[in-house]
Amino acid sequence: MNPSLVSVKHLKKYFTVKSDTLWGKKSILKAVDDVSFDLYACETLGVVGESGCGKSTVGKTMLRLHERTDGSVWYKERDIYSLDRHELKQVRRQMQMIFQDPFSSLNPRKQVRDIVAQPLRIFNQGTRQEIQDKVDHLLEEVGLNPKFKTRYPHQFSGGQRQRIGIARAIALEPELIICDESVSALDVSIQAQVLNLLLELQEKYRLTYMFIAHDLSVVEFISTRIMVMYLGKIVEQAPKDTLVDNHLHPYTASLFKASPDIDPRNRNDEVLLPGDVPSPLDPPSGCYFHPRCPRCMEVCTHTYPETREVAPGHWVACHLY
Ligand code: SF4
C-alpha cells in the first residue's frame, strides 16, 4: 500500500443546536464522533452512508472548513490544526474540494475563464497570458471547448458545470481532492461520464480522492477502499472487493441489499432497514444501529462495540465480531 497522505485521528465535530423555543435549552449534535482513518496516496477512499451520517462533515473538518471539536488531522506528518493562516493556505493548495451542486459553488456573475483562473491568480501562477493559456488547457483536460470560456455558469448543463468545478479543483495540481456528493445531482449517463473523467485525471495527475456519496453503486464503481458511516461513526472499512464480497456489519449488509441492481432479476424490493435514521441529537444507547438491526443482542442495547481489525485492512465495529 502507498504511504499515508492524510491521517485522521479521533476526529470529533459537534455542533450546538438551539431549541426552537425562546427558553429551550441547547443541544449537542455529534455530527462526527471519534473517527480515525488514513488516506493513502493515489487511492480512492469511498465514504458511504445515509444522509445525515456525518460523511460531508468529515470532509469539511479535514480541510478546516469546519473547525474540529477534538482530534487531529495530519497531512504528510503536519497537524493541519497546528498551522497558522499562511501555512494553512499552502496546505489547502494541495487539498481541494468538489461540491455536489456546481451551480451554487460557481459564482454566477463570473465568466468561466475567471472562475477557473481564480486559484491560479490567488497563488500568483504566472502572467495574465500564462494563466489564460493554463485555463484553456484545463478546460480541454475536462472535456470542455475553450472557446466557450467567456460564457457564464448558467449557460452550461449540470454535467458541464461539474466539469468546470473539476477544472478549478485541479488548477493548482493538488494531491488530494475531496468529492462531496459530486455526481449525485446528475443523470445516470452524465454521472458515468464524470466518474470516468475523474478516473482519467487520477491516473494522469496521480490524484488521491476521498469520494463521499450516499449511492453505494457509485462508490463501488470508483473506490479502491470503502468506509461506511452511521450516525457520525465509522462502522466498517475495508478494501473495495472485501467490502463487496465479505461485508460484515449488519448496516453495510442492509445498504448492499437496498442498493438498486442494474439487472431487474437481482432487485430486492424487501424493506430492509426498518425506521428512519435516529436523530444525531439523541442517538440510541449502546450500538447506535441497534433499534434497526436485525441481529441485535442484549449487549448491543447498552455498550458501543469496539472497532476491531478482523482481517488485514478490514475494520468493523459490531459485537458479532
Ligand atoms: Fe447489530 Fe449489535 Fe452489531 Fe450493532 S453491535 S450492528 S446492534 S449486532
What is the per-residue pLDDT across 152-197, written as a single tens digit (0 to 9) for each?
A: 999 999 899 999 999 999 999 999 999 998 888 888 889 999 999 9
- 161-197 in b/e burial notation, b at 16+ Cβ within 10 A? bbbbbbbbbbbeebbbbbbbbbbebbeeebbebbbeb
> What pLDDT is recorded for position 213?
92
Q: pLDDT: is 21 or 182 the higher one?
A: 182
For the chain, the average pLDDT equals: 90
Q: pLDDT: is 231 or 100 the higher one?
A: 231
> What pLDDT is recorded for position 21?
65
> What pLDDT is recorded for position 20?
67
pTM of the model: 0.91
pLDDT classification of 107: cutoffs 50, 70, 90: confident
Amino acid at 41: A
Is pLDDT above 70 for 270? no
Amino acid at 75: Y
Ligand 1 midpoint to CA 295 (Å): 6
Burial class from Cβ neighbours inside 10 Å (0-12, 13-18, 19+) for residue 49 reads: buried
Question: Which residue from 285, 289, 304, 321 has its CB within 8 A of the most atoms of ligand 1, so it is best to mutate?
Answer: 289
In the chain, what are the domain boundaries?
4-94+174-261+271-317
From the CA of 301, give the closest atom in ligand 1: 7
Is pLDDT above 90 for 147? yes
Ligand 1 midpoint to CA 134 (Å): 52
Asked whether the beta carbons of 262 and 269 are under 8 A apart, the reply is no
Say how far apart CA 8 and CA 58 lie, in whole Å: 9
Is pLDDT above 90 for 314? yes
Say how far apart CA 179 and CA 111 lie, in whole Å: 23
Q: Please provide the CATH number assigned to the domain covering 4-94+174-261+271-317.
A: 3.40.50.300
Say how far apart CA 177 and CA 106 lie, in whole Å: 17
List, for residues 43-97, the tens digit of each pLDDT value: 999 999 988 889 999 999 999 999 999 999 999 989 999 999 999 999 989 999 9
State the residue for C-alpha cell 451551480. Answer: 103
pLDDT classification of 22: cutoffs 50, 70, 90: low
Asked whether the beta carbons of 299 and 281 are under 8 A apart, the reply is no
pLDDT classification of 260: cutoffs 50, 70, 90: low
Please report, rounded to a whole number, the percentage of residues in the chain having pLDDT higher than 90: 75
Is pLDDT above 90 for 286? yes
Say how far apart CA 135 and CA 127 lie, in whole Å: 12
Say how far apart CA 131 and CA 133 lie, in whole Å: 5
> What pLDDT is recorded for position 80?
94
State the residue for C-alpha cell 497558522. Answer: 84
DSSP H helical ranges for the chain: 55-62, 85-94, 102-105, 112-122, 128-141, 158-170, 188-205, 216-222, 240-246, 250-258
Longest C-alpha distance within the chain, in Å? 68
* Strand order, beta sheet including 70-75: 27-40, 4-17, 70-75, 78-79
Residues with CB under 6 A from ligand 1: 249-250, 287, 289-290, 293, 295-297, 300, 305, 318-320
| Region 243-247 average pLDDT | 94
